[in-house]
Every structure is written in structure tokens, then in C-alpha cells.
Amino acid sequence: MEYKHSLQPVPLRDERSLFTLVENRSAYSMDACELNVFETHQQASQINLKFDDWVLTSMLRGKKVMHLADRPAFEYFPGESVIVPPQELMKIDFPEADKESPTQCLALAISAEQIKSTINLLNELHPKVEEGEEWHIREDYFHLANNLELAEIMNRLIKISLNDKSREKDILANLALRELLIRLMQTQARSFIENNFKRLSGSSRFAHIITHIKENITSKIDVDKLSDKACMSRSSFFRKFKEEFGHTPVEYILQERIRLAKKFLQNPYNSVTQACYMAGFQNLNYFIRTFKKDTGTTPKAYQAAFKN
């Protein structure tokens, strides 16, 4: 899983105010959503949880093991989110939870009306490039690493839900929800292409572009010529790429090079300078600044932490 952006933890409840030590729930209701904060302060297994709406869960503290229908069990950590459809039973284990190290997880239940209106708006105003494709929430890309955009909008929703007492609270929450859903679908679309770009390169112009970028990532890529490869005008290509993936082609190439640089930095025999140029960067200072902006740490510190 790619680099993960953790959410800001919510303050833990005082033990005396807990109703239960396993999945103690605090709920914050709004017009189009309900934010639930679950805390578990002791080990437990096979705890059932189900929602009537689509729910986006995000880990804040600790570790869970999730069991979803027809899927292998998986470990669930801070910096990750899971999207679960209505009425799907979640069975959850808490193998490490205790009073000193409780788990904490958000579950944002989103109304069907809000989801439908957002999807309809996207399909009407920003249709996908390929004929017959439409925006939708995918059930096959359900376990996500939080990117910066998802983390920022989730933090904003947490702040609105827990702290905003204004009359405009529901309006602000609805706007944030719409952005969250768009970011979620963009993240899923990017993950789908990332995992299938070779298979789809003959039928999807963006998969063809991603294939070209990945195959030439260590060389200089002429961004202005990517639109020709997609058989689109330059303006249409840049606009639709941003709509599809949430990033411009330049930003996507940059993230690919940073991802590759991380891989090289994990080898202790590679210097920061070597990792920089092997990943396709042309300027060491620019690489260091960009790496720190994306990850929050310098390449040298990243490499040192990885050694430990």
C-alpha cells in the first residue's frame, strides 16, 4: 500500500464515561451523514457491525483485523480507510487493544440521497472520457491508503461534526461530503487504472497514458505530447485527467517519481543523490523539497527511519 496520511486523532473519552470497553460509540448526526467514533479498550474478536447506508471507516489509533463478506481478513491501521456498502456485515477483531493503547476508528455513514445527487452531478457536468463509463463508488477497491486530499477533507468533516455549533453546520457538512465523495471516486479510479493499466492500455486512453508514464518515468517526459498520445486536445486532456484522477499529469508524474525514489532509498547502498537521479529527477534540491512536501520528511531522514 502507498504512503498513508493519518487523520488527526479525536480525543479519547474518559474511561468513566464509557458505556462499554468494546466499540464504545459516540455519534454526531447531521442532515446527510452521521459521524461515529468507536473506541475499544480491551482485546475482543468477532464483533459485528452493520450500517444501513454506505459507510466510510477510517482508523485513527491502534489496529483491527477486518472480516468482510467473501474477502480474506486483513489488518487495518491508521492512515487507511475502508468503504463498506449498505447492510454489509463487518466482523472485527481487536488483537492488541487495552486501556493503555485503545483502538479508535471513525465510521462516516452517508445518506443514499447525498451519494446519488453527487454522482448524478459528476456524470452530467464532468462525464468520463470513455463512452459507456460512468462515475460510481466501486466495491472492489474498498481498502484505501489515505492520500493527502482524502485526509484533509476527512479532517475537515471531523472538525465540523465535533466542534461546529453554527447554523451553517449542515450546509458546511454537505459541501464537505460532496468533495469527499468526489475525492473517494477519483482515488478509486486511480487505483483501478494503477492496477490494470497494462490490460486496459488498448481500450482506455488514460490507461495508455499511465503505461507510457510508467515505462518512461526515469526519462524526461514531454507532458505537452501526452495529449497527442491520448488523441485529445491539450486543454481537454489536462482537464479530463485532473477530473479523473484528482491530479494534473505533472502532479501524477511527480508522485510516481517520489514513489520510485522511496523504493531506491530503502536500499542502504543508494545515496540520496543516486535515488534522486535514478527516479528521473533532474535537480537534487528540487527533489529534496518535493520529497519533504509530499511525505513530511527529507529523503535522508526517510532512509534513516527505514533502516531502523
Query: Residue 92 maps to which CATH number?
Result: 2.60.120.280
103-110: strand order across its sheet: 24-29, 33-40, 103-110, 54-61, 80-84, 143-145
> Which grid coordinates belong to 22?
468494546
Contacts for 173 with CB less than 8 Å, ≥ 6 apart: 30, 31, 32, 33, 157, 160, 161
74, 44, 76: which is closest to 59 by C-alpha? 76
User: The domain containing residue 270 runs over which residues?
Assistant: 201-308
90-94: strand order across its sheet: 44-49, 90-94, 64-67, 74-76
Which helix (H) or strand (E) covers residue 92, if one does?
A: strand 90-94
Q: Indicate whether 155 and 228 sit together in one domain.
A: no
Q: Indicate whether 177 and 46 sit together in one domain.
A: yes
Average pLDDT on 216-242 reads 93
pLDDT tens figures, 117-127: 999 999 999 99
End residue of a domain, out of 179, 197, 215: 197
> Which grid coordinates belong to 295?
511525505
Q: What is the pLDDT of residue 132?
A: 87
Q: Indicate whether 273 and 210 sit together in one domain.
A: yes
Structure confidence at residue 306 as a pLDDT band (50, 70, 90): confident
Q: Indicate whether 13 and 66 sit together in one domain.
A: yes
Q: Indicate whether 302 and 289 sit together in one domain.
A: yes
Q: How far apart are CA 26 and CA 169, in angstroms?
A: 18
End residue of a domain, out of 154, 171, 197: 197
What size, in residues, is the chain? 308
Structure confidence at residue 15 as a pLDDT band (50, 70, 90): confident
Q: Indicate whether 26 and 133 sit together in one domain.
A: yes
Number of domains present in the structure of the chain: 2
Structure confidence at residue 178 as a pLDDT band (50, 70, 90): very high
| Per-residue pLDDT at 1 exceeds 50 | no
Q: Indicate whether 211 and 177 sit together in one domain.
A: no
Q: Indicate whether 178 and 103 sit together in one domain.
A: yes
CB 195 within 8 A of CB 144: no
Give the strand pairing for 90-94 and 24-29.
unpaired
End residue of a domain, out of 197, 229, 262: 197
| Per-residue pLDDT at 307 exceeds 80 | no
pLDDT tens figures, 186-225: 999 998 998 999 999 999 999 999 999 999 999 999 998 9
Q: Indicate whether 215 and 121 sit together in one domain.
A: no
Ramachandran quadrant class, 132 (left: phi over 0; alpha: psi -120 to 50; beta: rest): left
Structure confidence at residue 3 as a pLDDT band (50, 70, 90): low
Average pLDDT on 25-33 reads 95
Q: Indicate whether 209 and 145 sit together in one domain.
A: no
Q: How far apart are CA 292 and CA 281, in angstroms?
A: 14
CB 240 within 8 A of CB 275: no
Give the strand pairing for 103-110 and 74-76.
unpaired
Check residue 16 and report its DSSP letter.
Answer: G
Average pLDDT on 63-82 reads 95
Q: Indicate whether 122 and 206 sit together in one domain.
A: no
CB 139 within 8 A of CB 69: no
